[in-house]
A and B are shown apart, each in its own frame.
Chain A
Amino acid sequence: GAGVSQTPSNKVTEKGKYVELRCDPISGHTALYWYRQSLGQGPEFLIYFQGTGAADDSGLPNDRFFAVRPEGSVSTLKIQRTERGDSAVYLCASSPLDRTEAFFGQGTRLTVV
């Protein structure tokens, strides 16, 4: 596709459940980022992939959050034992190797009830 695609666009889940959020980056982009955006806040960095490996996962808030990018393209953000505080918009972005721009998807709005 032409841009970064994120699915689903909306996800409502019950507290304690497991969720997976998918990101399909722009073809050829080696870098992939996950951000979390709470209402009225700027995007908060979660994790950054360069190829298949997580180059920096220092933004993951705790061990309930995990992300993978097994083939260096599509990435999945996984959240275990969801809590109401996890409710936010989860943004994915990709960029070329020269990091001259991050291209963002539309985001997945996660609501934990």
Chain B
Amino acid sequence: AQSVTQLGSHVSVSEGALVLLRCNYSSSVPPYLFWYVQYPNQGLQLLLKYTSAATLVKGINGFEAEFKKSETSFHLTKPSAHMSDAAEYFCAVSVTNTGNQFYFGTGTSLTVIP
């Protein structure tokens, strides 16, 4: 079975500090991995994705994530937090042998403290 675990339902960082949001996945086959961001009362927007190319993936708004197969992780980072980064972040996995569903984690709410 495929699943995604996001450690930490709430993360607070100071403006300008490093952002680290954790995601671990479970998959019996090589997965595609995604990070989505959701602002209040809006839909999900793709931040970045890993689709079996480079393991270090750069996304929008200065975010990046590294696929580590040995750790089954896909943590999201940003060197310097901005107030506008405050939102809900979801990690997701997609695998071909399950009908191409996208499985989502429970989300991490990021608060940026001025």
Contact = CB atoms under 8 A, between A and B. Distances in A.
Contacts of A41: 106-107
Contact of B106 (A31, A42, A107): A42
B104 A43 contact: yes
A93 B102 contact: yes
A102 B102 contact: yes
Given A41-B106, A100-B49, A101-B46, 20 more contacts: A42-B90, A42-B107, A43-B90, A45-B101, A45-B102, A55-B99, A55-B100, A56-B101, A91-B43, A93-B44, A95-B100, A100-B32, A100-B51, A101-B49, A102-B34, A102-B92, A102-B102, A103-B46, A105-B43, A106-B43
Interface of B: 32, 34, 36, 42-46, 49, 51, 90, 92, 94, 96, 98-107
